[in-house]
């Protein structure tokens, strides 16, 4: 009787240790699987963008283009428009970051905390302003130029970054801040070592939203001589050049998707581990 139960126990123990290895192996496999799962969407998105870009290229190469279309869609010209577009977008983005992040931090500090809610409310209303209206208004005020375009882009994209910076900092568990202060970290140390790292995901998604908005809005810069890919759309419409119109629209869309992709990759990599 007792030896029987002993054997049974030994059997169970043996089974356990034998199962140990496969479990470990399964763990690495499943880890690889989760890594792939977390990157899969991004890989598909990039593949889709590249495929769409290639399709556009093939279509342009095989289409029967008129002389004026060929001139407008010359690779050099397209390259210049794209660079202008990126320049507008990135310049505006940098200015937005420089303004919105410190402002967002300042508005969530104690002395200015009371402003958080009103500023968020105003930001929400501002979001409803039509982008094209903001662009045109700014141009009428500053003059039709690259700088007017940049300024209106900044105005338009400051809101999501500011919003998400404030929300990101606001949603950090107050008890963690208190734990930090409680163990003797200064307010600045808590900001940089606890609050900002924990706000990074929300802030980055605000930055990505802003970048995508910027790419789209930069297409409107053409209305005020600000440059960019939008000129293909307006030229296409004005001169009834469908190929140019479609190329312009697709390039803007692909650029937006590409920027979105870059933003997602950055978010993915920069998200603090452990969240």
Partner 1 sequence: MWDFLGDRYEQILFSGWQHFSLVVQCLILATVIAVIIASLVYRSKGLTSVVNSVSAIGLTIPAFALIGLLIAPLGFGVTPAVIVVAFFAALPILRNAVVGLSGIAPSIVESARGIGMSRFRTLLQVELPMAWPIILTGVRVSAQMVMGIAAVAAYSLGPGLGGFIFSGLSRSGGANSLESVLTGVIGVIVLALILDLLLVGLGRLTIPRGIRV
Partner 2 sequence: MSERNASTSPAPSAASTGITGASILLDHVTKRFPGQVHPAVDGLTMEIPAGKIVMFVGPSGCGKTTTLKMINRLIEPTEGRIVVDGDDVTEMNGDTLRRGIGYVIQAGGLFPHMTVATNIGIVPKMLGWDKARIAARVDELLELVSLDPALYRDRYPKELSGGQQQRVGVARALAADPPVLLMDEPFGAVDPITRLRLQDELLNIQDELQKTIVCVTHDFDEAVKLGDWIAIFNEGAQLEQYDTPERILGDPANEFVENFIGSGAGLKQLTLTRVEEVGLADAVIGNPGERAADVLARVAEAGHGHAVIVDDRHRPIQWLSRRKLGRLDLISAVPDPKLPVVGIRATLNDALDTMLVSSAGAALVTGRRDMFKGVIDVRTVMDAITRSQTAAVLESDKAPVGLNTGMFQAQASAAEAAEAELIGAESSSAQSSSAQSSSAQPIEADGSGADARAAQ
Half-sphere exposure in the Cβ direction for 262 (13 Å, CA): 11
Region of residue 225 (left: phi > 0; alpha: psi -120 to 50; beta: else): left
Give 22 or 133: the residue with its C-beta nearer to partner 1: 133
Q: Note whether 267 binds partner 2 by CB under 8 A.
A: no
Taking the complex as a whole, the smallest distance from the CB of residue 178 to partner 2 amounts, in Å, to 7
Residue labelled with tokens 């356990």:
16
Q: Which residues contribute to the site for partner 1 (CB under 8 A)?
A: 41, 44-45, 48, 124-125, 127-134, 136-137, 139-140, 144, 212, 215-217, 219-220, 223-224, 230, 233, 236-237, 242, 245-246, 248-250, 252-253, 256-257, 260
As measured in angstroms, the least distance from the Cβ of 249 to partner 1 is 4
Phi, psi of 170 (to 5 degrees): -65, -35
Q: In sequence order, which residues have a C-beta less than 8 Å from that of residue 151 and are 6 or more positions away? A: 138, 142
Query: Should residue 184 be labelled a site residue for partner 2 when binding is judged by CB under 8 A?
Result: yes
Smallest separation, CB 170 to partner 1 (Å): 18
Look at the chain and count its residues: 275
Nearer to partner 1, 35 or 176 (CB): 35
CB atoms within 10 A of CB 232: 27
Contact set for partner 2, span 152-181 (CB under 8 A) = 175-176, 178-181
167 binds, among partner 2, partner 1, none (CB under 5 to 8 A by kind): none
* Torsion region of 228: left, alpha or beta (phi above 0 gives left; psi -120 to 50 gives alpha): left
Tokens standing for residue 258: 């590409």
Distance, CA of 147 to CA of 225 (rounded, Å): 10
* Cβ closest to partner 2, residue 199 vs residue 250: 199
The answer to the question of residue 110 lying near partner 2 (CB under 8 A) is no
Instruction: Tell me how far apart the alpha carbons of residues 240 and 220 are, in angstroms, rounded to a whole number.
Output: 18
For partner 2, how many residues bind (rule: CB under 8 A)?
20
Q: Is residue 194 a contact residue for partner 2 (CB under 8 A)? A: yes
Residue showing tokens 């312009």: 248
| Minimum CB distance to partner 2, residue 259 (Å) | 26
List, in sequence order, the alpha helices (H) in 171-224: 174-182, 187-190, 196-218
Name the 3-class secondary structure at 189. helix
CB closer to partner 2 out of 28 and 62: 28
Residue 40, judged by CB atoms within 10 A of its CB (0-12, 13-18, 19+), counts as exposed
Q: How far is the CB of 5 from partner 1 (least distance, A)?
A: 41
Among 119, 149, 159, 198, the residue binding partner 2 under the rule CB under 8 A is: 198
117 binds, among partner 2, partner 1, none (CB under 5 to 8 A by kind): none
Residues engaged in binding partner 2 (CB under 8 A): 175-176, 178-186, 189, 193-194, 197-198, 272-275
């Amino acid at each position: 009787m007792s030896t029987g139960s002993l054997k049974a126990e030994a059997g169970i123990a043996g089974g356990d240790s034998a199962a140990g290895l496969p479990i470990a192996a399964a763990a690495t496999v499943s880890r690889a699987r989760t890594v792939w799962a977390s990157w899969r969407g991004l890989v598909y998105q990039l593949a889709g963008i590249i495929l769409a870009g290639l399709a556009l290229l093939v279509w342009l190469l095989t289409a029967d283009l008129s002389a004026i279309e060929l001139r407008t869609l010359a690779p050099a010209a397209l390259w210049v428009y794209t660079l202008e577009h990126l320049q507008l977008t990135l310049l505006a983005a940098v200015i937005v970051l420089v303004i919105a992040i410190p402002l967002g931090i300042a508005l969530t500090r104690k002395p200015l905390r009371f402003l958080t809610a009103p500023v968020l409310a105003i930001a929400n209303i501002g979001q409803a302003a039509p982008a094209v209206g903001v662009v045109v208004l700014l141009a009428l005020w500053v003059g039709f130029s690259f700088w007017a375009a940049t300024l209106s882009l900044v105005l338009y994209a400051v809101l999501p970054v500011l919003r998400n910076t404030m929300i990101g900092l606001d949603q950090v568990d107050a008890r963690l801040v208190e734990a930090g202060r409680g163990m003797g970290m200064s307010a600045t140390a808590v900001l940089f070592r606890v609050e900002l790292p924990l706000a990074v995901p929300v802030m980055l998604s605000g930055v990505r939203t802003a970048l995508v908005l910027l790419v789209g809005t930069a297409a409107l810069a053409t209305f005020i001589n600000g440059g960019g890919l939008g000129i293909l759309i307006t030229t296409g419409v004005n001169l009834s050049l469908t190929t140019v119109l479609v190329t312009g629209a697709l390039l803007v869309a692909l650029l937006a998707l590409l920027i979105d992709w870059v933003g997602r990759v950055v978010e993915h990599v920069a998200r603090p581990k452990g969240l």
